[in-house]
């Protein structure tokens, strides 16, 4: 991923992220529950790409419905990972959320590991979108899904917009 303004503003971002992302997180949490029912699984492996300060994964970790899920967040921004760790400590999470400093273009993750990959406002950060999506596909189970919530679509190439369904939410399976 590109070096980001998030590195400089992670603590400021953290303060406003809860308010600004609550509606979208509520939508994604309900959608993740639907997907979990669809998979007929008691536990799922969920990867959050570019989680920011990861209020979504913290909400999932605090939800008893997701108690057995394996939750992983990867971000290329060390300050964002640090903020997320602080948020997880404040939420009294013990081991439910695993955070890694990693670039989406070169994930140090085994193949076919995740049932679901989620992302919010991440597409604009991809230096090489084809490489990023190839990596997502590689770490996704054969029957897994990718769920991306992208707010700012003006910057996306027109072919991407055609494949986005239901407003600004995009879901695809492998």
Report the candidate in 57, 165, 58 with the shortest Cα–Cα distance to residue 173.
Answer: 165
Q: Are 54 and 62 in contact (CB under 8 A)?
A: no
The 10s digit of each residue's pLDDT in 14-73 is 555 556 666 677 888 888 888 888 878 788 999 999 887 767 888 888 888 888 899 999
Sheet strands (E) in the chain: 45-49, 70-75, 97-101, 114-120, 140-149, 169-173
pLDDT for residue 173: 45
Which residues have a Cβ under 8 Å from the Cβ of 126 and sit 6 or more positions away? 1, 2, 104, 105, 132
Per mean pLDDT, which range of 92-96, 153-157, 158-162 is the poorest? 158-162
Which secondary-structure segment (H or E) carries 19? helix 5-39
Buried b (16+ CB within 10 A) or exposed e, 18-36: eeebeebbeebbebbeebb
The 10s digit of each residue's pLDDT in 61-77 is 888 888 889 999 999 88
Q: What is the mean pLDDT of the chain?
A: 77
Q: Output phi, psi for 153, to 5 deg.
A: -95, -10
Q: Are 32 and 60 in contact (CB under 8 A)?
A: yes
CATH topology of domain 5-173: Rossmann fold (3.40.50)
Which secondary-structure segment (H or E) carries 137? helix 129-139
Q: pTM for the whole thing?
A: 0.78
């Amino acid at each position: 991923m590109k070096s980001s303004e998030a590195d400089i503003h992670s603590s400021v971002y953290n303060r406003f992220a809860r308010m600004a992302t609550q509606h979208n997180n509520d939508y994604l949490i309900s959608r993740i529950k639907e997907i979990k029912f669809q998979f007929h699984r008691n536990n799922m492996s969920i990867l959050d790409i570019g989680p920011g300060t990861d209020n979504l994964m913290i909400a999932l970790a605090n939800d008893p419905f997701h108690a057995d899920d394996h939750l992983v967040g990867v971000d290329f921004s060390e300050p964002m990972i640090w903020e997320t760790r602080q948020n997880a400590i404040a939420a009294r999470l013990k081991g439910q959320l695993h955070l890694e400093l990693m670039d989406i273009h070169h994930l140090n993750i085994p193949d076919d590991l995740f049932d679901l990959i989620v992302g919010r406002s991440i597409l604009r950060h991809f230096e090489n979108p084809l490489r990023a999506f190839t990596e997502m596909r590689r770490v996704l189970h054969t029957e897994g899904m990718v769920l991306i919530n992208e707010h700012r679509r003006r910057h996306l190439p027109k072919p991407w917009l055609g494949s986005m369904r239901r407003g600004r939410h995009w879901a695809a399976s492998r």
